[in-house]
Amino acid sequence: MDSIIVTGNGPLHGQIPIAGAKNACLALMPATLLSEEPLTLTNAPRLSDIRTMTTLLQSLGAEVSALQDGQVLALSSHALTGHRAEYDIVRKMRASILVLGPLLARAGQAEVSLPGGCAIGARPVDLHLRALEALGAEMDLRDGYVHARAPAGGLRGGPVEFPFVSVGATENVLMAATLARGTTVIRNAAREPEIVDLARCLRTMGAAIEGEGTDEITVEGVDRLHGATHRVVTDRIELGTYMLAPAICGGEVECLGGRIDLVGAFCEKLDAAGIDVTETANGLKVSRRSDRVKAVDVTTEPFPGFPTDLQAQMMALLCTADGASVLEERIFENRFMHAPELMRMGARIDVQGGTARVTGVDRLKGAPVMATDLRASVSLILAGLAAEGDTTVNRVYHLDRGYERVEEKLSAVGAKIERVPAQ
Ligand code: UD1
């Protein structure tokens, strides 16, 4: 397996282009299953998770081609040949569950392997299943698969009320509801920018949706959806990650394509830590006000709160802050696996359940570390950028799931980072 060696190398200067959002793209791609006509996605990120979704859709009979070096995805589902998402694909990526709603709506039936646990917690799919049941689907769990069937005459709109916010379950039921008969009202819906992006794309395809971006989304079912071209929204997690690079190392970096509205709560915490963020014509410019950042407390929450997907990277920043910070993880029960790795680099972190207390040290020291999940791996790279000496991040396949050309983007602003291919 490849590893990445990062060497602390001082301040960073320049521009980093931010890609289209992985998590938006992973929801937009299954939307192709809802229509016989082609769907074209532009500004797609070039990531292994996108290739996994491509393989899954192809296994169902969809045509998917990556054009323009992977930045344009041409999808077509004019003739679906299957409705079963196999374990071998689903186990690689939990977002595979997002084919369930569209398949039910279009084909009237679906079999999707249960994703199983993952490194950051149990992550069940009960909310997805309950929401689709509210549209009349019958669910049966057998042999590790969800066997789902729409009633005769197809799904019917209905009220869906989530007990707590789920991004994926909101996406699944939103897609299914576009072709259901009648009105679906989704309450306690996720408000993430990726939901807004999906709703916009579905509307371009002819869906009747209102209220995306609020906690109540109303969908009026239509008979069919047509083709569309849609530009994938900027990746707010990649954006936040690269905004932290100059915050940690000093210097000034402009993140091209960045928008404050995508990272509002995150920017408030950066400001409290002593980091300046200014809007430019092309994105967001970031620099720190003094050599040492200040400690801040962070609690992860659904959007518009502080994103769980930036918690590990924020922890990397706070490891060298002046004072003690408390990070509370409220979305996933086991998402501090980067903490022991950061401690190998000299960080002082005390984890108690869902809370981590980080006491800033003067400087981190390079060490061999292990990437345990996608966001953890990039937090170790950020920490390595500011550490004394070399940090070798092993098991970087997680990184390639969610960050395109990370070495290229960071080298371009002056970081010393290289990939060592597996022997
Ligand atoms: C999405 C993102 C992920 C991000 C997460 C929270 C994608 C592909 N992934 O994941 O990067 O970290 O949102 O912002 O978009 N839950 C249940 N039952 C369910 C569904 C979820 O108990 O049926 C729980 C989860 O275990 C978790 C919480 O709900 O504790 C929120 O998860 P959810 O918003 O569904 O996350 P994902 O959509 O899987």
pLDDT of residue 371: 84
Could you tell me the two tokens for 278? Answer: 């200014």
Specify the CATH architecture of the domain 3-19+234-420. Answer: Alpha-beta prism (3.65)
* Chain length of the chain: 423
pLDDT of residue 58: 98
What's the gap in Å between 166 CA and the centre of ligand 1? 5
pLDDT of residue 116: 63
Which atom of ligand 1 is nearest to 307's Cα? Answer: 14
Long-range contact list for 129-132, CB < 8 A, 24+ apart? 131/160, 131/162, 131/169, 131/172, 131/173, 131/186, 132/100, 132/101, 132/104, 132/172, 132/173, 132/176
Q: Which residues, in sequence order, are CB contacts of 210 under 8 Å at separation 6+?
A: 217, 218
pLDDT of residue 122: 57
pTM value? 0.97
pLDDT tens for the chain, residues 1 to 423: 889 999 988 899 999 999 999 999 999 999 999 999 999 999 999 999 999 999 999 999 999 999 999 999 999 999 999 999 999 999 999 999 999 999 999 999 999 999 865 555 557 899 999 999 999 999 999 999 999 999 999 999 999 999 999 999 999 999 999 999 999 999 999 999 999 999 999 999 999 999 999 999 999 999 999 999 999 999 999 999 999 999 999 999 999 999 999 999 999 999 999 999 999 999 999 999 999 999 999 999 999 999 999 999 999 999 999 999 999 999 998 899 999 999 999 999 999 999 999 999 999 999 999 988 888 999 999 999 999 999 999 988 888 888 999 999 999 999 999 999 887
| In contact, 98 and 30? CB cutoff 8 Å | yes
Question: Cβ(127) to ligand 1 under 6 A?
Answer: yes
Question: Cβ(169) to ligand 1 under 6 A?
Answer: yes
Question: Cβ(125) to ligand 1 under 6 A?
Answer: yes
Domains 3-19+234-420 and 22-231 share a fold: yes
Question: Cβ(117) to ligand 1 under 6 A?
Answer: no
Nearest alpha carbon to residue 325 among 263, 396, 377, 274? 274
- Domain ranges for the chain: 3-19+234-420, 22-231
Query: Which residue from 146, 331, 332, 374 has its CB within 8 A of the most atoms of ligand 1, so it is best to mutate?
Result: 331
CATH assignment of 22-231? 3.65.10.10
What's the gap in Å between 164 CA and the centre of ligand 1? 10
Nearest CA to ligand 1 atom 38: 168
| In contact, 4 and 420? CB cutoff 8 Å | yes
Which atom of ligand 1 is nearest to 168's Cα? Answer: 38
Could you tell me the two tokens for 106? Answer: 């279009």
Q: Which residues, in sequence order, are CB contacts of 343 under 8 Å at separation 6+?
A: 349
118 classed as catalytic? yes
